[in-house]
Amino acid sequence: MTSRTTTRTSTRGDGTATGHDLVLPRAAVAATWQGVGRPLQEVAVPGVRLQRGDALVRVSLATICDGDVLTVAGRRPGAAPCVLGHEQVGRVVEADAHARSLDGRRLLPGARVVWSTVVACGRCVECQRGLPQACATLERYGHAAVRRSWELAGGFASHVHVRRGTAVVVVDDDAVPDAVLAPVSCGVATAAEAVHRASSVLGLAGGPGLSGQVVVVTGAGVRGLAATAMATQAGARVVVVDESEPRRLLACRFGAAAVAHPQEARGPLALARALAQVDRSGRHRTVGLETTGSAAAAGLLLDAVGVGGVVVLAGPAAPGPAAAVLPERVTTGLLTVTGVHDYAPSRLASAVAFVAEQRHRYPFEELVGHVVALDRLDEGLRLAGAPGAPPRVGVRPA
């Protein structure tokens, strides 16, 4: 939206500014999810109140995450009504004078930005430990129920009200396509956190991190493909396990040294064969990255990694069957099993930098295989949840 907005500052009795009301020349539009099996409803939002540190961002492109599909299908709980969507890129329309990016820059109108999935207080014990995704007062974009003070709380809208406590990264290179940047704020940044976690655990023992190691990635969605590219760039040899032949072929373009099918025990797509292909000695199978949320995939990785290995569970959070973990396997194998849910703010910045720098080497733009208009979001959600769906379906406001 390029036309001018109207602002009105609100103050307390002592004259201290409490924020300002922003009236849009044309109302913002959001598609609200009403619950499982119910049609989406479009709502108009004529303006927002920007509190200290807040910004209003016009969405350029949003993408439908696996988590959105799970919520719409009723496979994980979700508040209703709710503006879904938490992967997007956009430009600042207006920002409070105290709104800052992660690197400390003031957010100015026109700045192109990507932001985190969570709003954190920055003061509680969890935030001080570097875990804002576990903040005591945590709120999530695309998950919060619509309320009067925060109607534009998700990416499936023309605008998003980005609140103080959100990690915001400014993208200085306008040449980076929207389709490269939109999936970063969930899928790619979570992959960056998983790769960082594995590398850090290996580094604690004085090792070289991922360099020279074998990494097994289950799932060739956005998280798995991004993790594959990142681990490959770190010097690892990556084996990707996925049921889909198109996804396995895509994994090779993201740097996979070999691919496998999770159900094949023998033949050319057996995991054992793929591992032998990249590591005949069997001494470098140290990392497993699980990106699907599957209990079976987690068990596969626990069996695949060698002594002293690390298994990082980084799939979408949803209720499901328990994974069988044998204590003897963990103890005698000296294994480390750790979980990743969202990411530290610094990982968002590193993920943005990675896709911007490596977009010509790895086909990040092709992850968005189809784009629908916001008023056809229901069609996009069906497409994203269908067999053979592209890694991401995009949603572009009119």
- Is 332 exposed, middle or buried (CB count within 10 Å of its CB: 0-12, 13-18, 19+)? exposed
Q: Is the pLDDT of residue 131 over 60?
A: yes
Would you place residue 20 in the very low, low, confident or very high pLDDT band (cuts 50, 70, 90)?
confident
CA-based nearest residue to 93, from 8, 168, 162, 183: 162
Q: Is the pLDDT of residue 16 over 50?
A: no
Helix (H, G, I), strand (E, B) or coil at 58: strand
Exposure string of 264-294, with b = 16+ CB inside 10 Å and e = fewer, is: beeeebebeebbeebbeeeebbbbbbbbbbb
Residue 176's CB is within 10 A of a number of other CB atoms, namely 20
Q: What is the pLDDT of residue 317?
A: 75
More confident: 327 or 113: 113
Q: How confident is the prediction for the chain on average, in pLDDT?
A: 91
Would you place residue 287 in the very low, low, confident or very high pLDDT band (cuts 50, 70, 90)?
very high
Q: Is the pLDDT of residue 220 over 70?
A: yes
Lowest mean pLDDT among 45-59, 87-101, 194-208: 194-208
More confident: 177 or 279: 177
Residues 177-201 have a mean pLDDT of: 96
Which ranges constitute the DSSP H helices of the chain? 66-72, 125-128, 178-181, 187-204, 222-233, 245-253, 271-278, 295-304, 327-332, 345-358, 377-384
How far apart are alpha carbons 87 and 183 in whole angstroms? 5
How far apart are alpha carbons 89 and 117 in whole angstroms? 12
Q: What is the pLDDT of residue 321?
A: 72
pLDDT single digits (tens) 333-372: 888 999 999 999 999 999 999 999 999 999 999 999 999 9
pLDDT single digits (tens) 240-249: 999 999 999 9
Confirm if 152 and 202 have CB atoms less than 8 A apart.
no
More confident: 260 or 75: 260
Q: Which of 9-18, 319-328, 377-386 has the highest mean pLDDT?
A: 377-386
* CA torsion through residues 284, 327, 202, 126, sign: positive
More confident: 157 or 2: 157
Q: Domains plus CATH for the chain?
A: 6-186+344-396 (3.90.180.10), 189-339 (3.40.50.720)
* CA torsion through residues 362, 365, 368, 369, sign: negative
pLDDT single digits (tens) 330-344: 888 888 999 999 999
Would you place residue 7 in the very low, low, confident or very high pLDDT band (cuts 50, 70, 90)?
low
Residues 6+ apart with CB under 8 A from 73: 36, 385
Residues 21-42 have a mean pLDDT of: 94
Residues 317-326 have a mean pLDDT of: 72
Q: What is the pLDDT of residue 3?
A: 40
Lowest mean pLDDT among 197-201, 301-305, 327-331, 382-386: 327-331
Q: Is the pLDDT of residue 325 over 90?
A: no
